[in-house]
Amino acid sequence: MKKREFWARFQRNRLAISGLVLVTAMFFVALLASWLAPYDPNLINLQEVLLPPSPNHLLGTDTLGRDVLSRIIFGSRVSLLVGFVAVGIATVIGLLVGALSGFYRGWVDQVCMRLVDVMLCFPVFFLILAVIAFLGPSIWNIMVVIGLTSWMGVARLVRAEFLSLREREFVAAARSLGASDARLICRHLLPNALTPVMVSATLGVAGAILTESALSFLGLGVQPPTPSWGNILTMGKDNIEIAWWLSVFPGLAILVTVMSYNLLGEGIREAIDPRLKE
């Protein structure tokens, strides 16, 4: 599909455009957090504990007097970092497994797909919980574990694309000219198989952010004093009756971010897939 055609179809989807705008805004908020945050996110002020939203603290303060808005802004860095790195790891593994499986078929395909089936047998979130509990909570462990447990969908998508593409005329022509397997995979097949992967990766960022927030909420994610939307929610849970803002605002940040990536991913999918034309 030509870029102009893709962009024209994408622009017709207002929800997708809204998702793109929100995702872009969230990216710049994370990038410019040091300039946008009104306070140091870790600055403790025991004289301003659990203050409700006010002109001085637009989203209130927490149990240590820290500004909630500043912590949410800096927490966006953690969420986006986890989302992009985890999805990057999952995409690389999925591309490798799916490409080998779809290109060579036979016993290679059987081994790769049985590995995918085994991984899909495990409840992913509980597997992540078990691994994090064993390794210890840290942002790097979270990114790696989420990436290592979420590549199966990408592998299946890439395998399906390779099984279709390897029978095309341009592949036969390249093979007849003496192209090696590595050249066929990297130069001819992989670039044409990236379309569904792009959609999967966009949706995967939302899933990774949601998983990181859930782990931090349970105390197995990013550890204080590093701000994370999940650990702000944990503090809100403990003070839900007297400090509603500690639950509402980080919850809204998670909701808007996840929704934005889902809208963007669905918009890309509809713009790419010709069967979804209006």
* pLDDT tens, position by position, 122-148: 888 888 888 888 888 888 888 999 999
Q: Does 50 map to a domain? A: no
Residue 24 has pLDDT above 90, yes or no: yes
Residue 56 in domain: no
Identify whether 51 is part of a domain. no
- Domain assignment present for residue 62? The answer is no
How many domains in the chain? 1
Residue 64 is assigned to a structural domain of this protein: no
Q: Is residue 78 part of a domain?
A: yes
Structural domain contains residue 58: no
Q: Is the pTM of this model over 0.85?
A: yes
Burial bucket for residue 66 (CB in 10 Å: 0-12, 13-18, 19+): buried
Domain presence at residue 52: no
pLDDT score of 42: 92
Inter-residue contact 25 to 261 (CB < 8 Å): no
Residue 210: which CATH number?
A: 1.10.3720.10
- Structural domain including 261 reads 3-36+69-276
Q: Give how far Cα 107 sits from Cα of 100, 112, 175, 176, Å.
A: 11, 9, 22, 24
CA–CA distance, 13 with 154 (Å, rounded to integer):
25
Summarised one tens digit per residue, pLDDT across range 53-109 is 999 999 999 999 999 999 999 999 998 899 999 999 999 999 999 999 988 888 989
- 277 or 27: which carries more pLDDT confidence? 27
| Cα–Cα distance for residue pair 139/191, rounded to 1 Å | 32
